[in-house]
Amino acid sequence: MKLERELMRGAGPTAVLHLLAAREMYGYELVEALARRTDGVLAMGQSTLYPLLYNLEAKDLIAAEWRTADSGRDRKYYRLTGKGKRKLKADTEQWNQLAGAMAALGVLSPIVAGGVS
């Protein structure tokens, strides 16, 4: 199942920031990770990913650097900035509050809500 555009617009940046919090990644890696780790719920194509990345970069939440990988390919690697970390932390708290609220309303089950961290 894919998210509707509005939900993706809210969740996508936080998901990307979250992935980059672990390590720096390049575009295709991010696409794969998002699809795999969310069972395709947050899967996004290049048409969505790159505008999202450029926006995060414009806001100084992430930084990018072209490097040549071991395979000899040029890839643009993205990493979280200090500002991005703070933003991720704030977003995570808000998502938790949102999930708790939705659980309180019965929209989410407590288990699902509690599983979000």
Partner 1 sequence: MSGAAEGAGPVRAIWRWNVMHSPLARRIRANRYAARQLAAAGLPASVSTRIDAIVRRTRLWADERGDVARELIAHARDATDAGRTEPEILSSLGDPKPVARLIRRAMKRKRSWLYQTRAWAARGLGVACVLVMVGYGVLALRFYTGRAHIETNYLAMLNDRIAEYGPDERGYPVYQDVGRRWWTIAERLRAESVYADTPSDGDRGIDMLPDLDPSHPDYDAVASAVRGFRPELDRVADATARPVMGFRYSDRMNEESDADGYYAMEPLEPNANPEDQGYLFEVLLPHLGQARGLTRLMVFDTRLAADEGDAARVERTITALADLSRQLGCEPFLISSLVGVAVHNLAGLEVARVLDDHPGLLDGPACTRLAHAFARVRPDAVHLEVVSEAYIFDDLLQRTYTDDGHGNGRLTPAGIELLREFASPPDDLGVVPMLDQTPLTDAAAPAALLVAPDRRSLANRQGRMLRKVEEVLDVGPERLGELRRVQIEVTENQNGVFDPVGIMIPAYDRALATLFRERAHDDAVRVILAVEAFVAEHGRLPVTLHELTPTYLPEIPPDPFDPGSSIKYRALEGGGYTVYFAGADGDDDGGTPPIEDDGDHADAHIRVADLLDRFGRLTPDEDDAPTTTYSMIGGTQDPHAPVPNGDWVLYPPPPSE
Where do contacts with partner 1 occur on this chain (CB under 8 A)? 26-29, 31-32, 45-48, 50-55, 57-59, 66, 73-76
Cβ-based nearer residue to partner 1, 19 or 108: 19
Least distance from partner 1 to the Cβ atom of residue 86, Å: 19
Contact 57, 64 (CB under 8 A): yes
| Alpha carbon separation from 16 to 20, 71, 93, 102, 109 (Å, rounded) | 6, 24, 16, 23, 25
Least distance from partner 1 to the Cβ atom of residue 64, Å: 9
Cβ-based nearer residue to partner 1, 50 or 95: 50
